[in-house]
Structure 1
Amino acid sequence: MPKGQGKVLAQNKKANHDYFIEETYEAGIVLQGTEIKSIRNARLNLKDSYARVENGEVYLLNMHISPYEQGNRYNHDPLRSRKLLLHKKQISQLIGMTKEEGYALVPLKIYLKNGFAKVLIGLGKGKKKYDKREDLKKKEAKREVERAFRDRQKDY
């Protein structure tokens, strides 16, 4: 977690299941109208969202932010693409890395930091089916060890 990270509003739990996350970047989001109010109410979904580099800028696509209830005509399109704010150096790194086969930019979580909405983007390499199965086996084995340890602690 980046230092000074505030309240986590949404997490993409499928990201760690589907990708090996190699690097993470913190980015600001360009929002419109009542979007920040919906974000503060945690009315957003990262499930099928992804980021893409286009024309030297990074955009977050397919992230759903629900319309604000009291927003009436000032509301926004829930699935519109949103520009991410990164340094030029970071964008050029991302351009180079996403050109490689199998790499994708995946939003991991959205949180508030000093009153601003931030998104943590991970550079992920896609997992194969056997990698996912292997991870599930490791997770299950770890759970079994913890369960056995906990049961042993109860006996004493």
Structure 2
Amino acid sequence: MAKETGRKLVAQNKKARHDYHLLTTYECGLVLTGTEVKSLRQGKASLADGFVQIDGGEAWLHNVHVPEYNQGTWTNHSARRKRKLLLHRAEIDKLASKTQETGHTIVPLSLYFKDGRAKVEIALAKGKKEYDKRQTLREKQDTRESNRAIAAAKRRQQRQRAAHG
């Protein structure tokens, strides 16, 4: 069997980008059991309520839902157990000191396989206020509308060229 290469996305937390200002991102490994890996390979997971906590000098991923593997036996994992994250000591220390500041938290952004290994992308984030969220949505809509207008103008131009040419 050929060695897996590249990046295969399993789950993404789109809500995190909406609810938080992302300051820095980290890629870290994940300590998983066999049935969890098999369940993830089926492309099933949810990062919706996930968060990271630094506890005793170790980073732990909480509340991430990896459904039980359907061919699993009594060795199956519990769906919402806490999972250890693999980070360098300096990164853990930096994250721990930053989360002591008010309003800072660590959220998972995506869960994926990179060259056959399960990885999670986490971000140090600061919560957005309600008006920030509205501002972000407004900017997104404005960008979308301007892109549509530009595309429509280009189409009109091409039609005119085709009619006259």
TM range (shorter): over 0.9
CA RMSD for the aligned pairs?
Answer: 1.0
Deviations 1:1-24 (A, max 9, x none): xxx861111100000100000100
Q: Check conservation: 1:33, 1:74, Cα contact below 8 A.
A: no
Q: Does 1:45 align with 2:46?
A: yes
Counterpart residue number, 2:162: none
Q: Could you tell me which runs of 5 or more consecutive residues in structure 2 were left unpaired when the two chains were aligned.
A: 158-165
| Distance across 1 between alignment mates of 2:57 and 2:12 | 26
Counterpart residue number, 1:25: 26
Counterpart residue number, 2:117: 116
Deviations 1:125-146 (A, max 9, x none): 0000000010011001001001
Which residues of 2 match residues 1-150 of structure 1 at below 5 A?
A: 6-150=7-151
- Length, aligned pairs only: 153
Query: How far apart are residue 89 of structure 1 and its match?
Result: 0.5
The percentage of counterpart residues that share the same residue type is: 46
Q: Tell me the secondary structure at the aligned position of residue 71 of structure 1.
A: coil
Q: Tell me the secondary structure at the aligned position of residue 71 of structure 2.
A: helix
Higher Rg of the two aligned structures = 2
Q: Which residue identity is paired with 1:15? A: A
Q: Check conservation: 1:5, 1:111, Cα contact below 8 A.
A: no
| Distance across 1 between alignment mates of 2:120 and 2:22 | 15
Query: How far apart are residue 33 of structure 1 and its match?
Result: 2.9
| Distance across 2 between alignment mates of 1:9 and 1:34 | 15
Q: Could you tell me which runs of 5 or more consecutive residues in structure 1 were left unpaired when the two chains were aligned.
A: none
Q: Check conservation: 1:22, 1:125, Cα contact below 8 A.
A: yes
| Distance across 1 between alignment mates of 2:75 and 2:93 | 35
Query: How far apart are residue 58 of structure 1 and its match?
Result: 0.4
Q: Tell me the secondary structure at the aligned position of residue 150 of structure 1.
A: helix
- Following TM superposition, the consecutive aligned residue runs of length 4 or more in structure 1 with deviations greater than 2 angstroms are none
| Distance across 2 between alignment mates of 1:5 and 1:94 | 28
